[in-house]
Amino acid sequence: MPLTAPSPAAPAAEKPELSKTQKLAALLVMLGPESAAQILKQFQPREIEAISREMARFNLITRDQQEEILSEFSNVALAASTSLSAGVEVTRHTLEKALGSFKAGDILGRVIPNKAPAGAMQSVADMDPRHIFNLIREEQPQTIAFVVSYLPPERAAQILALLRPEQRDQIIERLATLAPTPVEVAEKIVDVLNAKLGIKQQTRAFSQTGGVTTAADLLNAMDKTVSRTLLSSMEERNPELCQAIRKKMFTFEDLLQLHAHVIQRILRETDMRDLALALKKASDPLTKLLLSNISRRAAESVRDEMNLMGHVKLREVEAAQFRIIDAVRKLEAEGEIDLDESRVGENEIV
């Protein structure tokens, strides 16, 4: 539950007592993502999850609370002169620095409430993508970005593909910069959508969605030509935001940047038919790299499979590539690989 300082008139006995985990979570927020990430690395996965849950529950850490916590951690020198914002984004930033973006997302997915509670966005999220498009296509870009932020990347990508190119530009940019939406505003948006659907129901509070990671996931799931066009357009208007999104994206061609032992670990989780299909549209260097990291016999089988396939549809190739990238995400989330530490230098890439 969110923690706030007691009112001045409240008796001392009513002051909430923080658990050890809550105090540690508050201290990590006060230290900031860089220092907090170094500390989090020392804990076990279950402990990290428990601490992250408490970090995400803080809305505000008042000056009085900071001073009380610091008095118990007297070896920490910190000037706490103002209140500090906490919450999900601070937790996400800290976890990403400590564990990588995919594993951070996996932990947050378990400790943060579902993005679309029943009775709120669920009726919309369960609809066919074309029906959702018809429902929101005349709305303002900020409203469309809000709705899209509650959908899985693949479904959101299908909806954006139906929108006009100029709409996509605005929606991706607003999605990446989506600020915390007041509950009242979120509920009003859902009420309007439900009214269009003829649904009468009580809406419930939302957890915050959107941000750079959400935008990157959506662009990864879109047609590669479209996503490249969107990024190029955004780079002209907002190069800093575009760079931040690119850092969160991981495409099939990015496998070229990984060390051989990581490639081998990924390929052990990959269906060889998926690999053959994915390589139909891959670059020669990437094809050479991936085939060189499986046995000669397996590589020959993959090449034979590619030849037998003949012409294949681009969307089938991209679906196979996405399945392999999904395996990469899962391995990162499970701590099997570390993408940040597994990248080779530019001069090392063959």
Report domain extents, the chain: 17-111, 122-248, 252-348
Quick check: do 122-248 and 252-348 share a fold? yes
Distance CA 225, CA 218 (A): 14
Distance CA 231, CA 242 (A): 6
Please give the CATH number for the structural domain made up of 252-348: 1.10.220.30
**What are the structure tokens assigned to 5, written together?**
């300082």
Among residues 42, 32, 59, the alpha carbon closest in space to that of 99 is found at 42
Helices (H) and strands (E) in the chain, counts: 20, 2
Residue found by looking up tokens 């050479």 in the block: 288
For tokens 């706030």, what's the residue?
Answer: 4
What is the tens place of the pLDDT at every residue in 165-206? Answer: 888 888 888 888 876 655 556 666 766 776 776 655 544 444
Instruction: Identify the pLDDT of residue 332.
Output: 79
Distance CA 82, CA 270 (A): 50
Which of these CATH numbers, 3.40.50.2300, 2.40.10.480, 1.10.220.30, 3.40.50.300, describes 122-248? 1.10.220.30
81 has pLDDT over 50: no
- pTM of the full predicted structure? 0.44
Question: Given CA atoms 144, 150, 152, 153 in this order, what sign does their dihedral have?
Answer: positive
Structure token digits, residue 236: 């002209």
Q: What pairs with residue 60 in β-bridges?
A: 85
| Helix, strand, coil percentages for the chain (3-state, nearest 5) | 65, 0, 35
pLDDT at 183: 55
Give the pair of three-digit tokens for residue 24: 């540690």
Q: What is the pLDDT of residues 274-309, one digit of tens each?
A: 999 999 999 999 999 999 999 999 999 999 999 999
